[in-house]
Amino acid sequence: MKVLIIGAHGKVGQRISKAMRAAEDVEPTAFIRKEEQKPLFEEMGVDTVVESLENTPEAIGEVIKNYDAVVFTAGSGGKTGHDKTMEIDLDGAIKSINQAEKHGVKRFVMVGASHSDDRSYWGKVDGMKPYYTAKHYADLELKRSSLDYTILRPVLLTDDDEAGKVLMTENPDEVGSEIPRQAVAETVLTVLKDPKTYGKVIEMSKGEDKIADALAKVCS
Whole-number Å distance between alpha carbons of 70 and 5 = 6
Q: Which helix (H) or strand (E) element contains residue 101?
A: helix 93-102
- Taken in order 141, 67, 153, 126, the sign of the CA dihedral is negative
DSSP assignment string, 35-75: GGGHHHHHHHT-EEEE--TTS-HHHHHHHHTT-SEEEE---
To the query of whether residue 198 is one of the catalytic residues in this protein, the response is no
Whole-number Å distance between alpha carbons of 37 and 168 = 33
Whole-number Å distance between alpha carbons of 17 and 14 = 5
Task: Measure the CA angle with vertex 204, ends 153 and 216; round to 5°.
Answer: 110
Tell me the pairing of strands 200-206 and 166-169.
antiparallel
* Cβ atoms < 10 Å from Cβ of 87: 17
* Cβ atoms < 10 Å from Cβ of 113: 25
Catalytic position from the list 67, 121, 131, 132: 131
190, amino acid identity: T
Give the catalytic positions in this structure: 131
